Copies of this chain bind each other. A is one copy, B any other.
């Protein structure tokens, strides 16, 4: 098998809550991310890549199944926390790692899982041969605990066994990933999911163990700033650089697909310009994600305007590996390799989102986006009007009506959002610019 036809290795790097303009190649000017910028320069940089959801675990369901996450009960949770023991990823569901393993790949997840708790769920039960990381949605970077205090157990595992490590989590993951790559056999392709928690809260940079010690609440609403956030992102950038270096040292970088993206839009310290909105919101800032793909052996460097979404990666990567989705579980996404290879044109997509908090609905078709937040509906031209300011619903009533109905039709095929479904939204008590506007003419 020649280098060009050999199954490529795949390293899928997922950042956590990284927003649109948090990398210098996407518009951040206050700090630099040279390793990710280099990945972009040598590969594909997407300008219209979306996350399946505006929140973490929901997107991860979409990623690992290649389908709208609303087909699974756990995918409705925003995010999966309280019912992680009940509504994890069913272990009999075909997944990106299980399908790649079936196609001959060695598989590993290093980092965050967030698709259901032990003993019922876990990466080793869903297609990964190896796991090092955390099962839940967030851990502190130094204590590796999902909360604060001596009583809180660590969430750090080797497979299904709790372990203790010393160090900054982003660095630990980079080290684990690098050595796992170095250990891989020459003759077998590998699939590594490297799911960082950076730059998710708490706001702790690599030199900030004292901040970790002083934390009173893992959500860290009384901490953080842009300087700390920059340190966290730059540390993530360096970690990616280390992994790329490991691939190069092994001589496999050219025929390795390296993907870098985020699970949802940016959180409170993220720069999302020229978008508005953030994690938990279906505004572009909550779902448009920086996305890079490097595959030197097969893809020319390019900036791609192809609209794409998290669940496209399953059919895309299976195609690259010479296999396909399970026939009983067809993907809701599509294989975008032909577009990237210049064998198919950049084309329009019709994509949908829903989010329980603020009863949000969104649909994108061509340049238009239908958006509902609570009782208010909008039609935006998100190509011209990235900030989603000019409501065109009365200017283009037919488009508005079509997308509104299309959303209803789309939604009808999925599990309903019931009272039991958990959702997290931004609230006025914790974020000043998410106040509840009052119309009342009250005094001060």
Q: What B residues does A390 contact at CB under 8 A?
A: 203, 221-225
Given A222-B390, A417-B444, A436-B433 contact (CB < 8 Å): no
Q: Does A432 lie within 8 Å of B359, measured CB to CB?
A: no
Q: Is A411's beta carbon under 8 Å from chain B?
A: yes
Give me 9 A-to-B residue pairs in the complex whose CB atoms sit less than 8 angstroms apart, sorted by A's number: A203-B390, A221-B391, A225-B386, A359-B443, A373-B428, A411-B444, A425-B437, A427-B437, A436-B436
For A27, A227, A385, A427, the residue with the greatest tally of chain B CB atoms inside 10 Å of its CB is: A385
In the complex, the chain B residue whose C-beta lies closest to that of A429 is B376
In angstroms, how far is the closest chain B Cβ from the Cβ of A229? 9
Partner of A384, one of B225, B276, B385: B225
Q: Which of A413-444 contact B (CB under 8 A)?
A: 416-419, 423, 425-439, 441-444
Q: What B residues does A225 contact at CB under 8 A?
A: 381, 384-387, 389-390
In angstroms, how far is the closest chain B Cβ from the Cβ of A382? 10
Q: What B residues does A227 contact at CB under 8 A?
A: 384
Q: Does A433 lie within 8 Å of B388, measured CB to CB?
A: yes
Bound complex: CA A358 to CA B440 (Å) = 9
In angstroms, how far is the closest chain B Cβ from the Cβ of A439? 7
Given A385-B224, A427-B437, A444-B356, A371-B29 contact (CB < 8 Å): no
Bound complex: CA A268 to CA B388 (Å) = 9
In angstroms, how far is the closest chain B Cβ from the Cβ of A390? 5
Q: Which of A223-246 contact B (CB under 8 A)?
A: 223-227
In angstroms, how far is the closest chain B Cβ from the Cβ of A240? 24
Q: Does B361 lie within 8 Å of A444, measured CB to CB?
A: yes
Q: What B residues does A361 contact at CB under 8 A?
A: 444
Bound complex: CA A280 to CA B433 (Å) = 12
Q: Does A443 lie within 8 Å of B430, measured CB to CB?
A: no
Given A376-B429, A376-B432, A378-B432, A386-B226 contact (CB < 8 Å): yes
Q: What B residues does A281 contact at CB under 8 A?
A: 433
In the complex, the chain B residue whose C-beta lies closest to that of A443 is B417
Bound complex: CA A277 to CA B431 (Å) = 11
Bound complex: CA A225 to CA B439 (Å) = 27
Q: Does B374 lie within 8 Å of A436, measured CB to CB?
A: yes
Partner of A428, one of B221, B376, B411, B423: B376
Q: Which of A7-62 contact B (CB under 8 A)?
A: 27, 29-30
In the complex, the chain B residue whose C-beta lies closest to that of A435 is B373
Q: Does B434 lie within 8 Å of A437, measured CB to CB?
A: yes
In the complex, the chain B residue whose C-beta lies closest to that of A223 is B390
Partner of A387, one of B268, B357, B429: B268
Partner of A376, one of B357, B374, B435: B435
For A356, A429, A436, A441, the residue with the greatest tally of chain B CB atoms inside 10 Å of its CB is: A436
Bound complex: CA A416 to CA B444 (Å) = 8
In the complex, the chain B residue whose C-beta lies closest to that of A434 is B437
